[in-house]
Amino acid sequence: MSQKRPLADRIRPEELNDVLGQEHLLGPGRPIYRQIEKGRLFSMILFGPPGSGKTTIARLLARKLSADFISFSAATSGIVEIKKIMVEAERRKQLYNRDTIIFIDEIHRFNKAQQDAFLPYLEKGTITLIGATTENPSFELNSSLISRVKVYMLYPLKFDDIKTILIRALKSEDGLNGKYQLSDDALNFIVNISDGDARVALNALELSALATRTELIDLKTVEELVQKKALRYDKKGEEHYNLISALHKSLRGSDSDAGLYWLARMLEGGEDPLYIARRLVRFAVEDVGIADPQALVVAIAARDAIQFIGRPEGDLALAEAVVYLARAPKNNQLYLAYEEAKQDALKTLAEPVPIHIRNAPTLLMKKLGYGKGYKYPHNYPGARVEQQYLPDNLKGKKYLQDK
């Protein structure tokens, strides 16, 4: 077994019908299915998480359309190699009228010049480009390239999809050929630690098969080999923003359980705890605001705690802040009021401060009338007195509505 190709490669689907989890693209009447029916494939970017089937789909499409398939990785290829491949593809098109599908793994790693090198060949129809990326094309690919391709999103495989793939691998002649059995709890464990990544699941299965001394692969064997689930998380990519958005919206929706889960996902994925603390402080003033001013105190205290004791002890301080903020009453009136005041400060005429509320530290200022007519609130009942505080052009303006 050790001399063979990896299990994940050996049991790749041989037909598009066998590809799991991407029915929204490959099912009858769906976008890629319709292109196959018509025998014409558009250049595309397959955007999805690792192990969701991007490479497999690209290979099967080339086979289905009887096109030459050239695969290379953006991580190891340069512009010289790109141009050489383009020339060869153009020659095949002219001499033999053969289509060429160029598959580029990790296309987001190409710089602007490398991406632009494909444009003339896409315009002429010399090649059909299939790019695979785990990064959001909106952030990583040139707009000129995106405008010439279709972008299709692939989803992480579901629990039952990964389970089916593992069972196939156990039984398949190209896989483990029925030599091993996997206990139910070991099977579920592998599915859960895979996080929808078929490659992770198959690698764990293959490693367990190599390590077991019996035909039954049990939970203990798998746990000893895998040890800990590796959460998929990119602190600089789209997932970073997706998760902080999920945390923020869960707190805004007063769901403390969801808030704790997304917090754990971020912390265990390696996010900077101070980044989370900053976002919690922001939430305290933006979404809770004057409905519970204590929320800001709690958020600041959590930030101080994580700075003082670090991780993992400080995680509970963030967790306490998350629960407090989720359960606190919500009011974004302060946020909206300040935004309106900011726009007035930026866009209206900057009129002088009303003279009666100006400071008068010198005799000259007093003679000029600075502070004249000012009513000292503490001299009035309840320390409140009506007088103008805003400039004349904003006189009477209300940013906060009293309830």
CA distance 121 to 160: 41
Where does the chain hold its CATH 3.40.50.300 domain(s)?
21-153
pLDDT tens per residue, range 16-48? 999 999 999 999 999 999 999 888 899 999 999
Cβ(182)–Cβ(217) below 8 Å = yes
Given CA atoms 235, 240, 244, 247 in this order, what sign does their dihedral have?
negative
Q: Does domain 238-327 have CATH number 1.10.8.60?
A: no
Given CA atoms 236, 238, 243, 246 in this order, what sign does their dihedral have?
positive
Cβ(337)–Cβ(400) below 8 Å = yes
Topology given in CATH for the domain delimited by 159-226: Helicase, Ruva Protein; domain 3 (1.10.8)
Per DSSP, the residues of 206-220 read: HHHHHH-SSSEE-HH
Where does the chain hold its CATH 1.10.8.60 domain(s)?
159-226
CA distance 42 to 67: 13
Q: Which two tokens stand for residue 395?
A: 């006189």
Contacts of 18 (CB under 8 A, 6+ apart): none
pLDDT tens per residue, range 253-289? 999 999 999 999 989 887 889 999 999 999 999 999 9
pTM: 0.66
The CATH class of 21-153 is: alpha beta
Q: Which two tokens stand for residue 327?
A: 């359960």
pLDDT tens per residue, range 105-145? 889 888 888 888 888 888 888 888 999 998 888 888 888 99
Closest by alpha carbon to 344, among 300, 395, 380, 292? 395
pLDDT at 113: 83
Closest by alpha carbon to 236, among 272, 200, 280? 272
Q: What is the mean pLDDT of the chain?
A: 88
- The packing angle between helices 31-38 and 54-64, to 10°, is 20
Where does the chain hold its CATH 1.20.272.10 domain(s)?
238-327
Closest by alpha carbon to 149, among 37, 41, 16, 28? 41
pLDDT at 340: 93
Q: Token pair 């869960």 is at which residue?
A: 250
CA distance 84 to 233: 36
pLDDT at 3: 47
Encoded amino acid at 83, one letter: K
CA distance 126 to 299: 58
Phi, psi angles (nearest 5°) of residue 115: -65, -40
